[in-house]
Every structure is written in C-alpha cells, then in structure tokens.
Chains A and B, each alone.
Chain A
C-alpha cells in the first residue's frame, strides 16, 4: 500500500478508483454502484489519504480530489444505467415486433383462424404471466348475446362473460387504466377487425398488479380480429358463389327438363293412348311398332333422368366420388356389351391397348360417361360409318376415346354444348348438352378432362384420366 502510494502519487491512484466504479456500473444497478463507489472512496481515504488509517483529511486539495471523484462516479453510474435502460427498451421493442410478426405469419397461414384461438390465449398468458381467457364469434355478430354464436377458450365466470360481450359490442377495451370501468379486476381487450370486433380477450388480476404491456396485448388481439374478419368474408363469398352456381345449375336443369322431357313423353302418351283406344282396329304389326316406340322413348327418358340426376349430384357443393381401382377394359366391355342390345351391331368397334394400367375412379360414373359418348356418336354420326371406342395410356394419362364421322355439321359445334354450364346461361341446353356437360363433369371429378378434337369430317371425344402409382399385388403368379 505504502509502496503504491510512494510510487504513483495520490492523484494517479484516484484514477484506479474511478476505473473500479466505471467497471461496477457496467453490471450493477445505479444504487449499488453508488454504494460501492462510496465505500471505495472511504477505503481510499482510509488507506491513501494522509493522515493514513483515519477518515480525516489534512489537505484541501485532497478533499477536492475526493469530492471530484465522487461526482465523476455518480455521473458514470447514471450514464451507464440510462444506456442500459435504453438498450433494454429497444431489445424489448424488437422482441415485441418479432412476436407480432411471427403471430401475423401464423394467422396468415392458418386455414381457419379459429384454430389459433388457444394459441392467442397462451401468448397472452405468456405476455402477462396471468390467467387469460377469450371468446370469438363463430360467424356474424348476433343481435342477442347467444352462447351458441361464440367459441370460448379458458375459464370464464358469468360476470366476466358479460364484460367480454360488452367489450365485443363496444369494440373498446375495459378495465384498469383504460378509462372505462376502471374498478374491474380484469382487463378486457376487443379482437378488432377493420369494421367490427370479432371477439374479446380477458387478462385477469390487473387491478392489484398493474399490467404494463396492454399495447402489445391489444396488437396481438387485433391481428386475430383482422384474421377472423378475413376468414368471415371469405366464407361469405364462398357461400354466395355456391348459391349462385347452384341457382344457375338448377335453372339449366329446369330448362333442359322442360325441353327434353316433352318429346319422349308426348310419343309415349300418344302411342299408349292409341293402343288403349284403337286396339281392335290395329294390326298386330302396328301394335308391336307402337309398343316398341314406347319402350325406346322410355329408355331415352331413363338415360336423360340418370344424366340429370348425376349432373345435379356432381354439381352439388363438395361432392366426392367414391373411387376404387378400376380397369378401363372392363368399363368399355360392360358398356359396349349393354349397348349392343340397342344399337346397330357392326358399326361399333373397339380398340383397346392390352395391359392397360388401372385407374382410380367410380366405375358407374365412368360407364355413364362412355355410354353418353357412344350414344352421342350414334346421334350425330354419318350413317353406315363405324364408331370407334379406343383406350390407350401414356406416362401420365389413360385416354378413352370415342370417334365417328360426321356429315353436314361443324365439329366445333360440340364445344359449345359444354358452355351453358360454364357460363350459366341456358339457351343451348339440350339433351346432348346435358349428356356432354355431364361427361365433362365426370372427367373433371376424376381429376381429368374431356376434350373434343375435330378433324377431316370427323369428331373425336377424348376422356383423359390421370394415372397414379399402381397398387401393389403380393403374389408371384400374377402376369404369369
């Protein structure tokens, strides 16, 4: 000690004291730094300032030195403290911004923000270290406070629920330090969308222990409110679109029914009434002819009815087809077998590539599709020319095609038969329109499409069905 004092001199030693105090200020709080500085100053006085081993000071300049050191220590301590406070604040701010950003990302990615309500509750509990609860509207704001209109998360007492409803309806926060209902024990924050609030959150026990981060909590809540609002609007829009589509399909179907049912019904009616009233005057051959036309027209009605019902089903919102592994060869085989009973035998030809892969599909729908295409080909083909049904596969698609020659008709006309259902106008709705529109609807329900290709006085309908990976067979004898 003495050696130090002799070597450096009192004023240089004083710098060590200032250094100590500065280092202490880096880690310690203001008060402790000041206490430490004061103790260090006393110790300095005791050890180095003459007379040694006492707290008395002999010289005026020593007293001045000690006083200056004390003032410098105080300044250093308070500067460091304010610096630390500033850095803490900016860190907290950055954390808050980051938390908000990641919260808004999660909300944006969520299919239904209602699923994230428990997450919001957890975030508020983490932020406030208190019990939190919240509720959100399921859809629009009801005129009365209905329990069925909201989804609750967390434990909510009755008076708390009333306060939440009040908060939701007013769109303003309530509770301590909000200027409204300050006597409440809990803080209530609305989940505000851009137009109206979509829910409310509650942070417990705020009256006793004040809660400083209500701004951050409100920001989290508002993000949720905006997400709920967006979801609500999307739902409304989808509903409106579905309704409009259902309406348009219904109109088209009605137009088709009124147009297409009349002719076969009229034929059946006249043939049957003729049989009923003029039976004895007719020859056997005449009676047979009438009976045959009744059967044929009834069959036409059957097909038309099946098509219309199926189209209505496929157009129903959210229809799923019941898919299984199906073989195109089998579907073609069963349809051709059935149709041979009604139609001109030699004109219908099949050309099916052997060893076709299986497809995922609904065999009844695909049969109906093929039956409609063949029926259509017979209606619009030039007489005596063959009608070919073929099937082949490439890497991605299995194609079932029906082609025939046409006379005196533009093949591009077929494309417009699809249109009524796409545009929602129904001027062109005819039996063939329903049939083809259904074919396309079936192909699309299978993830494929129906295409029309016209060539040299011929038309070809191609139904493309996507090929996935083939099913596994655990048997050594397959394909033997």
Chain B
C-alpha cells in the first residue's frame, strides 16, 4: 500500500464522516448551507472528524514507539498500563483539585501515565523470562492493578459513573470547546517524526545504540514522555480506545518493516483510517443511535489481533 492510496482513502472517508449523522447535511448542500447545517458542521461534525484523526494517528504512533523501545511487538498503551495510569491520573486530579480545568487534568494524567509506563519498563528490565507473549500479560496485570486503584478511589468518592465514561472511548460527545486539548498531540507527533531514526536505533538495544554514539536513556525517556503525553490527552478527550496501538503498528510492520522512518507515516494514516471506519460503522449500524467507538474498535480489533497472532505462529516471527 502506498502513502498515496492511504491518503486518498483517508480523504474519502473523512468526507463520508462529515456527512453521516442524524441531522441531515448532504454533500450537495455544501455551498448553500442553512445556518443550522453550518452550525452542525462546525460545532459537531468537524471537531468529531478532527478528534478521530488525531486519536487514530497518535494512539497508533504511541503503540509503534512503545513496541520499538520495549523490543516487543505486543506492548502498547493498552498492554503496558499506560491507559489505566492516565485514567487514574484524571481521577486523582478530580478528587484532589475539584475545580481542575482540562489542561490541569491533562498534566496530572500525563504525570501518572508517565510514571505508570516507566514502572512497566522497569519491571521489563527485571523480568528474566522474556517471552513475547508473557510481557504484555504482565502489562495487562499491571494495568488491572492500576485500574483497581481507580475503581477503589471512584467508589469512595462516588465517581464510578464518571470513570466509566473514560473507560469507553466515545466520539459522540466531542464538540467545539471540549476536545481542543487533543491538539497538544500534533507538535509532539512531529517531534516523533524527527526522532524516527533514533527510536529505530534504540530498538536495537542499548549496546547497539552506544556503539553508534546514541544516548540510549535519553531517547527512551523521550519516547516514553511522548507516549504518556499523547495518551493522557486522548484519554481525557475521547476515552480509552483499546487495541489501536497494538494492531495498527503490527499490520504496518508486516509490509513496511521496522524502520520507523518508513513506517511512521503509514502507521499514522492507517490508524486514522481504521478509527474512521470503526466510527462510521458505529454510527450507521443502529442508526439513528450510536455504538461507542471502543466497542467497534474492540470487536474488529480483537478479530484482527487474533489473525495477527496466528499469522505470527505460522511464520515463526
């Protein structure tokens, strides 16, 4: 698949996404929008599209970076406790600073996500049994422990309903005014592009990096900061989108290889396309109602994930 085709698909789907919904806005009206239609577009549809694009791209890239740095194909924000830690962070910020604005919430959530991911990487260093499947299992357990802390705190402070809203990723609540924080991801992803070479080298191990004069620790830390910051902003605005960071990078790697310079853009585009498709399906399947994105992504994603596992077994990689 070439970048060109991916871009064309993405543009077509983006248009489709803008014109799918309960309020009737047809592509033919685009030059003579009524006031209401214009409002629907500007307040709901376009922000929704933008948030889908950013979430799809950034969560996939986070997964790619994590897989590279941990040297394990099954590590992603979902399977390393990053998402759960980010959620715990949001909860803590709500309990401690009741009037926290979204930006402050994001900072606290970022700190927790960073701490959680860092703890997971430290555990990875200590674990002797480096089986490819074993490590994400540890990550899932770790994530569940963090998650149980969230549930505990939420019970104590009567916030259960509140946290379940981030448990399920959902784009239907996205409107002008409540998603802009996601734009934080864009400059961070651009930095990721500049570091593509360094992440690839770091993925070959500490010795290999040192031999080439690369400051391994610094690059790994930067990678984790990127992952934590992006995850925190996405969880806060949209909620958890499972599997995304796991399957998209793995699919891209199959045909594009592990050189981040070659795979980053593909990962970003394919991630956005995947979330767009899932979102459109979720919007039309029980029209005029909606299925949350985490459900569609979860169903399609876990199917793809099983396929990838079997494929891996077949080719022995």
Q: Do A and B come from one complex?
A: no
